Amino acid sequence: MPKSHAPVYYADYLRLEQLLSAQLPKSTEHGAPAHDEMLFIIVHQAYELWFKQILFELGSVAADFKSDYIDERSIGTAVARLGRITEIQKVLIDQLRILETMTPQGFLEFRDFLSPASGFQSVQFRLIENLLGLSAAARLQYNHTSYHSRVTAEHQEILRASELQPSLFDLVEKWLERTPFLEFESFNFWRSYEAAVKAMLQQDRQTIETNPTLSEEIKLRELQTLAKTEESFSVLFNETQHDAIVAAGAWRLSYKATKAALLIHLYRDEPVLHLPFKFLTLLVDIDELFTTWRQRHALMTHRMIGTKIGTGGSSGHQYLRAAADTHKIFSDFFNLATFLIPRTALPLLPPDIRRRLGFFYTAQAAEHGSASGANPNHV
């Protein structure tokens, strides 16, 4: 801190004059002041401020992940920043309750003055979607127009530029593809996992077939369910089929990245995989919290405007519900749960590999029979 710095005044530091003079209700301008419009403006402005913070955090994580080598400190930082985003998202969901203190009739007093402005035009919201990895092709269209068509030419340019940047999804996929843990000299994760899955499914089949308490009808039903599980796993173990599913758009993550993500989930108890696991879990949390916000916003819209169309011209809450179902980014990470197997069925890692996946001081402690001299260097 330089000694000679000029004293700072609270209101100047926070630019309060600009900030607090930016609430200008349209109803007042039109000579028909509507009390609730102040709340409506402030809630939207608070959202836009939080969107700015989310973009700031996401941008810094994406910047770190652009590097070809990402050390564990960066993963730790990413985990802290993504964790911050999830806390903000919880506030964003809760904030809708404040707006719901406005009644639908209170909203009607000024709604017409806003048209055709709509949250649909929130450029920062679109930038968050793009940075996370919602592709233009995966977006729902309403009235057969793209989301660009509702914003100014200047904003369209900003959005198109953001679509050309690698998204967090792309960067995480590349990072997973580079994971060094899929094959060691003495251990092939994928082959061992496949063998463990086969043994587990065989055991499940035998349990059903030899269970004397099940009727033939129930046995048949259970075996049919098992056959479906076997089918999902057989796609997982066949790269060509996996790639066909990716090409058809039903799965997005590359084969190599899928394998690495599974390894991280299955062996997350190994110290070196703790942070990557936490990181992948946070991506799922962020996606889930955005979906929850979308669902909550759709419900609020329903109670505010019923079945009317939105000020932006969409079908209103119906469009918003469909967007909540469709606009997901990290679904593949949710779907990984299909392929998890119990810890007891997991192939044991050879001791040398366990040591390499542990903290350095753990290995030393095992060798010297002491836990002192902590040196948290990873492999």
Binding residues for ligand HEM, per CB under 6 A? 43-44, 47, 99, 107, 118-120, 122, 125, 297, 301, 304-305, 310-314, 316, 319-320, 323, 327
Half-sphere exposure of 160 (CA within 13 A, CB side): 10
CB atoms within 10 A of CB 365: 16
Tell me whether residue 120 or residue 279 sits nearer to ligand HEM (CB atom): 120
Distances (CA, A) of 269 to 45, 47, 79, 285: 43, 38, 17, 20
Tell me whether residue 119 or residue 350 sits nearer to ligand HEM (CB atom): 119
Q: Residue-wise over 164-177: b if at least 16 C-beta within 10 A, else e?
A: eeebbbebbbbbbb
Cβ neighbours of residue 318 closer than 8 Å, sequence gap 6 or more: 307
Tell me whether residue 98 or residue 244 sits nearer to ligand HEM (CB atom): 98
Tell me whether residue 107 or residue 361 sits nearer to ligand HEM (CB atom): 107
CB of 127 to ligand HEM, least distance (A): 11
CB of 142 to ligand HEM, least distance (A): 7
Tell me whether residue 320 or residue 349 sits nearer to ligand HEM (CB atom): 320
CB of 322 to ligand HEM, least distance (A): 9
Distance in angstroms (rounded) separating the CA atoms of residues 340 and 197: 9
Tell me whether residue 254 or residue 301 sits nearer to ligand HEM (CB atom): 301
CB of 161 to ligand HEM, least distance (A): 20
CA proximity to 266, closest of 349, 201, 187, 329: 349
CB of 310 to ligand HEM, least distance (A): 2
CB of 72 to ligand HEM, least distance (A): 35
Tell me whether residue 278 or residue 327 sits nearer to ligand HEM (CB atom): 327
CB of 88 to ligand HEM, least distance (A): 13
CA proximity to 357, closest of 271, 261, 268: 271
CB of 62 to ligand HEM, least distance (A): 21
Tell me whether residue 169 or residue 319 sits nearer to ligand HEM (CB atom): 319
CB of 327 to ligand HEM, least distance (A): 6
Tell me whether residue 121 or residue 229 sits nearer to ligand HEM (CB atom): 121
